[in-house]
Amino acid sequence: MCERLTRKFGSRFAISDAEVLEVGKTSWSEIVVRCRMYGESDAEVFRDGRKHGWSTTRTLQSLAHPMRADFLEPISRLHPVEALVSAPFLGAFAALRYAFWVRKSVDG
């Protein structure tokens, strides 16, 4: 997304180390929409990166990103009991993100 906005509008971005640990409620349909947006963005970044000659290491980092960002990192911050309780949801979230990535890659 950042790369696309930079190309289209000349936007500039900075990466922050800030963390937000979300607390709240949302509906499953809102979660699916969020996963769709993330997955489509993952597909676009991956496609553009490969087109511009990403190395094998960078390609693998991109492929692993949803699992790392939405499953491994959150799980690692939790108490073991909380991690066990949260793992099915976080796994489903990451899997949905990958599913939408694949769908975007296939559909174009």
Whole-model pTM over 0.85: no
For the chain, 108 residues long, give each residue's pLDDT as a single digit of tens.
Answer: 667 777 877 777 776 776 666 667 788 899 999 999 999 999 999 999 999 999 999 999 999 999 999 999 999 999 999 999 999 999 999 999 999 999 999 997
Please report the DSSP string for the chain in residue order. Answer: -HHHHHHHH--------------S---HHHHHHHHHHHHHHHHHHHHHHHHTT--HHHHHHHHHHHHIIIIIHHHHTS-HHHHHHHHHHHHHHHHHHHHHHHHHHHH-
